[in-house]
Amino acid sequence: MTPLWKLGPTVPLGSPFEPGARHDVVIVGAGLTGLSTAVMLSDAGLDVAVIDAGVVAELATGANTGKLSLLQGSRLAEIRRHHPASLVRAYVDANRDGMQWLLEFAETAGIPCTRRTDHSYAQERAGLDVLRRQHAAAREAGLAARMVQPADLDVPFPALGAVALDDQATIDPVRVTQALARRLLASGGTLHEHVRATGAHALPEPRVETTAGPLFAHDIVLATGTPFLDRGLYFMKVRGLRSYCVSFRTSSPVPEGTFISVDGSTRSIRAVAETDGPADAAQLVVGGGGHPVGRSDGETAAIDDLVAWTRRHFPDAEETHRWSAQDYESHNLIPFVGAMPRGLGRIRFATGYAKWGLTNAPAAAQRLTAEILGMPRRERASWMTAIGTRLTVPADLARGAAEGARVAAAAASGWADAERRAVPVPRPAEGQGVVANRAARPVGISTVDGVTRAVDAVCTHLGGVLDWNDAECTWDCPLHASRFAPDGRRLEGPAVHDLGRVPRTRAD
């Protein structure tokens, strides 16, 4: 499951690791948030080190659709439904500043992009009311959005109307993130790939614990999708979402704009050009099929549904790549950015982009940079204060309570289902996994690349029973979205530790 943007060889960008090294700032996560923050701070004269358990753009950054938009489907209408117009405007202003910064950086780095008109569209009549609310929220927030009638859309898929916003963009997310890494290194910064962070502490002095030894700093930033520290209980204030993308070659006309549906099964459509993607690799990317992590009737089925939908509307579409990504949505629909509780103002984080990271990530980086540099509030962009002082409303609490109930149900059903299936079980077929009960403990048994493995099927974060992801061949936690490889290696999410390996018996 390699994203379209990762067709080329991995570029060696790392620096030698020195345990105990000291820096002004240590950033955990070499995605767009971490590297944007690193470049901004390095440009301000600070000594910055970035570490990542994988490589640059390893996870969400390297697996998104490459769309930069201030319209964002129905996001503005969703925020406005229960929040004041001032908060929607602040959210739009933040994303505008983030988008402008990223595109200006891309231009200076020689990374091309394509300007496109973005569309939020309705697939059925029920979606037209969402469009009206999205249009009203966008206009209220200062965007020059306009309503578009079906006859003016000229698309091969069902669209009963749309809200359109000109001068949005598409870009290759991996190329721009690798350019950020090069910029950091060129300015004297440090980048450590394949170094996993296992903890962060403010006392007796700020430090990040890693599998290779500690790093010390004046400030620490956790740019890891969701914080791996439980302080502040942010794992309970966001929900992890997984979605899918498929790229295609096609000789059929591909719409020049970008599109995302506001109703029904999500369909996100964008063209791919030589200016914003790998040359000749594909002409079309279709995304959708999203669901909470670990709670799906079949991940492969969701991707197959995207392929079937595309071939209905682009008959000669030839699949080239399929992949998925994970992001987090806060219960109040606005990203969390700032200092973590009990961190003495030295540990900061960002999470909750709800799949719109290409604009939210550099916006978060701007706010993190302003705070770390001690910029006076009067000199900061007004949206930073508006978002940072927003109030929690009853609807936010209701969404949080509903998600909490779903987490509790998933926890109970996971243990109950594991108890119904006792070891020994038949060896899973290639690419499949099953959870069974061995001595009152859930065990995950899977077969991948001809190798059958058994691991402890209880998440190392808070004890959720894991679910097998048949598209990615991973063990996913339905509680708070931690994910693990078939051999138990931790991949992402709030969990810090790997799964324990379970010796297989002949009966298994």
Contact 262, 127 (CB under 8 A): yes
Contact 247, 282 (CB under 8 A): yes
Give CA–CA dist 472/273, Å, rounded: 27
Q: pLDDT value at position 15?
A: 81
Give CA–CA dist 460/261, Å, rounded: 36
Is 147 domain-assigned?
Answer: yes
Which residue segment(s) compose the domain that 184 sits in? 4-62+175-236+333-393
Is 106 domain-assigned?
Answer: no
Q: pLDDT value at position 135?
A: 98
Give CA–CA dist 426/358, Å, rounded: 44
Is 78 domain-assigned?
Answer: no
Can you list the residues of the chain whose pLDDT is less than 50? 506-508
Is 346 domain-assigned?
Answer: yes
SS3 category, 425: coil
Strands (E) in 136-205, as ranges, are 146-148, 162-171, 190-193, 197-201
Which residue type does 254 have? V
Sequence-ordered list of residues with C-beta below 8 angstroms from that of 241, at least 6 positions apart, any chain: 290, 291, 292, 293, 326, 327, 328, 329, 354, 355
- Name the nearest CA neighbour of 188 among 375, 52, 38, 55: 38
Is 225 domain-assigned?
Answer: yes
For residues 141 and 215, membership in a common domain is answered with no
CATH number at residue 482: 2.102.10.10
The burial class, CB within 10 Å (0-12 / 13-18 / 19+), for 175 is: buried
Give CA–CA dist 71/77, Å, rounded: 10
Q: pLDDT value at position 10?
A: 64
Is 497 domain-assigned?
Answer: no
Strands (E) in 360-470, as ranges, are 432-438, 441-448, 451-456, 467-469
Q: pLDDT value at position 504?
A: 63
CATH number at residue 354: 3.50.50.60
The one-character DSSP state at 465 is B
For residues 36 and 146, membership in a common domain is answered with no
Is 71 domain-assigned?
Answer: no
Q: pLDDT value at position 280?
A: 76
Per-residue tokens: 39: 């470049």
For residues 321 and 432, membership in a common domain is answered with no
Residue 242 C-beta-side C-alpha neighbours within 13 Å: 27
Contact 86, 386 (CB under 8 A): yes
| Residue 39 parent element (H or E) | helix 32-43
Report in angstroms the alpha-carbon separations of 496 from 347, 463, 468, 490: 17, 13, 19, 7
Counted domains in the chain: 3
Contact 144, 165 (CB under 8 A): yes
For residues 130 and 223, membership in a common domain is answered with no
Q: pLDDT value at position 12?
A: 63
Q: pLDDT value at position 11?
A: 63
For residues 363 and 219, membership in a common domain is answered with yes
